[in-house]
Structure 1
Amino acid sequence: MASGSRQEVYFATMANQGNVIVQETPKFDLESYIQNYTGPTRFDRLILIGRSSVPLHLDALRAAFAEAKKSHDTGRYREAANYFNLAAPDEAEELFSKSWIDSTDAANSAETKRLEREMKVYKNNLVKESIRMGNEELGRHLESIGDLAGAAEAYGRMRPDVSTPKHIVDMGKHLVSVSMQRKEWSSVIGQLNKITGLQGSDEEKLMQPYVRALSGVALLGQESYEAAARQFLEVDGSSISIAAMTDGLLSANDIAVYGGLLALATMDRTQLQTSVLENSKFRAFLEQEPHIRRAIAQFVNGRYAGCLSILASYRADYMLDLYLHRHVNAIYARIRNKCITNYLVPFSCVTLESMDAAFSKPGESIEAELASMIQKGLVNARIDSINKLVRTAKKNPRVKLHKEALEVVSRFEKSTLDRLRRVNIAEAELEVKNSRKALNAADMSDPFFEMATPVAE
């Protein structure tokens, strides 16, 4: 089968499995990019690129194949081999080693049995610290071979035997690592909340980037974009390596991209200026991704077409990010809607031609998109299709003031009539004597009591 037709079949299969296919070549260099990560996330990122990127899929699958062979996880090795066999069967057949799988599985099984035997000895001796360390070692082994459910169970068994705040933090970090791999975002947030506040001020300051960064990823996974943005913007990485602090899960570039994009999608221009561009904590991250700073500055300065152009040029990169790729379309749609809405604010009437020049590709029109935004209530405007104009509906402050004044007068008239009615009832001796205090109390609570009651001479 020709390489071109084989590639078409491969990506048709990937698309049927629910993967997003990225035709454009990303701006990052694969080898330099993947060096920012360690551990399981490195393999996961390579596999995602191998499933999605047309220009880089073979290089990514080769790297994933080699990465899997460095580990003890035969499941990852088989997964990489399956994808590689679909993309390049001849090369995959040469690289695949059944003997390595058999020997690794045998070694993993023997190590698991050894650790379980040691755990039985520790439990019989009733030494809490030995039991805790035994469960931790067993959990690490199970995590390294891909048994995430068993690893979570082993780490959870550490709980009755922890005796110091450091032990609780270590246990929480292990559980967070497993939950991140399983994409159980609520569990990640729960474990991070347990970690917070358990140590002294110095230790807590050191843990702050870890807690903030992973909380942001978990909130992003739950589509809580505004809360996630605030978490990323509060990460302080001035003196700490984010990759080392997050156990290789994230890089400083990721913090800049996630925080910047989510801030653009959820914050107004004033908040972007104060919380992002003037944020001393976040400035160090923006230096890693200067195009994010430029996009935010363009939006703040009202140059919306420039902002969208910068983001569009990096879209392929973000579609290949492990935690961001499922949210790129929603985030970009929010940013675009904000740009269009803010563009219309200063005008009462805008030509469709000028909006097409700012927001549409050559030969395309924004009219249908704008009509959809109006129907959804995102824009308060009307489209004049005959004259090709967009007329915005402006709120008249004088109308609002007159309406409020009439409401005040109406309430005063009603209160005055109620008071006159009470006076007439009292003069006719028709009132119930026991309720007089209640009536007086009601009068005193009336906002117009002081205005309506005459002052005794």
Structure 2
Amino acid sequence: MADSLLAFFTLMDNQDGVIVREPPKFDLDLYIQNYKGRTRFDRLFLIGRSSVPLCVDALKAAIAEAKRGKDTNRYREAVECLRIAAPSEPEATYDQAWLETQEAANKAETNRLLTELKGYKNNLIKESIRMGNEDLGKHLESIGDLNAAAETYAKMRPDVSTPKQFLDVGKHLVRVSVQRREWGMVSAHLSKMGGAHHAEEEKAVQPYLKIAHGIALLGQEKYREAAFSFLSADSSISGSTYSELASQSDVAVYGGLLALASMDRNELQSNVLDNAQFRTFLEQAPHIRRAVAQFVSGRYSACIGILESYRPDYLLDIYLQKHIPNIYSQIRSKCIIQYLLPFSCVSLETMEKAFGRPDQRIEDELADMIQSGALSARINMVDRLVTTKAAKPRAQMQDTALQAAEEYERQALERLRRMGLAAADLELRGSKKTSLFPSEGELMVEETLG
């Protein structure tokens, strides 16, 4: 099996896949129980293609999940991967009987639903047409025809009659767009859902809207906006309402990581640690709370240490995987800048102890930050020191005072000029426009003046 696993991950590496060799901290069976819908297969399949320790177990679970559904293409993909990674496993052989039976059933069900929908359209019953399109859309989504499913769900809109139905259509379209990774379409559908104008219905779906919007913004690398979206999700609503997208622990991780990458210490304190609405999510991922608290307290190396220990877990997340290098780089840069802020000079040995990592020397990382403009400092390789460019508070104070004096002088001259014009009776007064139908008050004023 070792040789086949090596061949499989060599293939994944050649396809620019992410390979995670360290075991994650989560238990696979408990992890996947937090989700429902098609995301269960997506997550299992990604773990199977990325995690060396969990590869075989995840692919076998993905095959079992595919067989519980109707999507035969997913089943084939999972079996093909397992056939390369562990050809001796029983699940690595195609269940041809199941494939033929399921494909025939899918075709028959599609024809049946199309015939029913045609009959509803002939009868011109709006509610039946809406339900027929919904049933057909769900079926097309379940068999993996996402393009046709999106078109069918969109046809429901003219026939909706209640706020709940309106929101249901939006959720269907958002779910399909998320699966297709069309982040712009996700945002567009969510903006339409926000106009339901029904307080009770909107409150029930609020976490779904915020989490889906955060995922879409994350996919577009808008980390700060995504962080605020996750942080504003209402944790009092049951997690089952959005479990087809993410779990409560996921929301805490997404919100905490993106906040660390995009917010300063004061913002982290107020928007994360003191956020009562987000606290329930943080309880599901206490390590994220610890990491944020360490950063706010100025213990930057401890913050990075916590995050590094959970890097394998985050690299196995379907939404985070491609963004982890960028997010972690931004957090490290912030930690290093904040660490150097109180000092004018720090030794490279001290920096290495605080932020060193085996794959890169700290001086190389600092040089990259200086060249990019993120860090204002100099590296003395002779004495092995990092010297920050000293700020000049006295000069800054003088510049601020001079600017304030110039502004005061400008305003004083403007006031003197206006006073002179008023004293010489040279002010220009605009003529008052009269209405074709003056009010009673205006007539009284004119009579008095007359």
For normalisation by structure 2, the TM-score amounts to 0.89
What's the CA shift for 1:81? 1.0
Secondary structure of 2:378 counterpart: strand
- The amino acid that maps onto 1:264 is L
The question of 1:103 aligning with 2:107 is answered no
Q: Which residue of 1 aligns with 2:149?
A: 151
Q: Which residue of 2 aligns with 1:115?
A: 113
CA distance in 2, matches of 1:363, 1:192: 42
Runs of 5+ consecutive residues of structure 1 not aligned to the other structure = 416-445
Conservation of the 8 A alpha-carbon contact between 1:142 and 1:150: yes
Residues 300-338 of structure 1: per-residue CA shift (max 9 Å, x gap): 111111001010000000000011111111000000000
What's the CA shift for 1:376? 0.8
What's the CA shift for 1:400? 2.1
The question of 1:235 aligning with 2:233 is answered yes
The question of 1:375 aligning with 2:371 is answered yes
Q: Which residue of 1 aligns with 2:64?
A: 66
Conservation of the 8 A alpha-carbon contact between 2:60 and 2:91: no
Distance change in 2, residues 1:153/1:353 (3 Å): same
Secondary structure of 2:346 counterpart: strand
Alignment of 1:147-296 (within 5 A): 147-238=145-236, 240-242=237-239, 244-296=240-292
Distance change in 2, residues 1:88/1:126 (3 Å): same
Q: Which residue of 2 aligns with 1:448?
A: 413
The question of 1:41 aligning with 2:6 is answered no
What's the CA shift for 1:248? 2.7
Alignment of 1:118-129 (within 5 A): 118-129=116-127
Larger mean CA deviation between 318-327 and 362-371 belongs to 362-371
Secondary structure of 2:115 counterpart: helix
Larger mean CA deviation between 210-219 and 393-402 belongs to 393-402
CA distance in 1, matches of 2:227, 2:289: 15
Residues 52-76 of structure 1: per-residue CA shift (max 9 Å, x gap): 0000000000000111001011111
CA distance in 2, matches of 1:157, 1:198: 18
CA distance in 2, matches of 1:94, 1:330: 36
Distance change in 2, residues 1:102/1:400 (3 Å): same
- The amino acid that maps onto 1:271 is E
Q: Which residue of 2 aligns with 1:443?
A: none
CA distance in 1, matches of 2:92, 2:324: 37
The question of 1:326 aligning with 2:353 is answered no
Q: Which residue of 1 aligns with 2:306?
A: 310
What's the CA shift for 1:126? 1.2
Residues 72-129 of structure 1: per-residue CA shift (max 9 Å, x gap): 1111111111111111123256652111111111111011111111111111111111
Secondary structure of 1:264 counterpart: helix
Distance change in 2, residues 1:170/1:408 (3 Å): closer
Secondary structure of 1:90 counterpart: coil
- The amino acid that maps onto 2:174 is V
Residues 211-262 of structure 1: per-residue CA shift (max 9 Å, x gap): 1111111110111000000011111112x222x1114321100001000000
Distance change in 2, residues 1:168/1:5 (3 Å): same
- The amino acid that maps onto 1:251 is S
RMSD: 2.2
Larger mean CA deviation between 365-374 and 22-31 belongs to 365-374
CA distance in 2, matches of 1:256, 1:122: 45
CA distance in 2, matches of 1:410, 1:213: 49
What's the CA shift for 1:394? 2.8
Residues 133-167 of structure 1: per-residue CA shift (max 9 Å, x gap): 11111101111111111111111111222222222
CA distance in 1, matches of 2:227, 2:401: 41
What's the CA shift for 1:407? 5.6
Secondary structure of 1:382 counterpart: strand
Aligned length: 422
Q: Which residue of 1 aligns with 2:442?
A: none
CA distance in 2, matches of 1:50, 1:221: 22
CA distance in 2, matches of 1:142, 1:327: 31
What's the CA shift for 1:10? 0.5
- The amino acid that maps onto 1:389 is L
- The amino acid that maps onto 1:68 is A
Conservation of the 8 A alpha-carbon contact between 1:14 and 1:51: yes
Secondary structure of 1:89 counterpart: coil
For normalisation by structure 1, the TM-score amounts to 0.88
Distance change in 2, residues 1:136/1:247 (3 Å): farther
CA distance in 1, matches of 2:119, 2:102: 26
- Percent of aligned pairs with the same amino acid: 56
- The amino acid that maps onto 1:449 is E
Conservation of the 8 A alpha-carbon contact between 2:137 and 2:152: yes
Conservation of the 8 A alpha-carbon contact between 1:197 and 1:204: no
CA distance in 2, matches of 1:94, 1:255: 34
- The amino acid that maps onto 1:55 is P
Distance change in 2, residues 1:270/1:124 (3 Å): same
- 1:347 pairs, out of 332, 340, 343, with 343
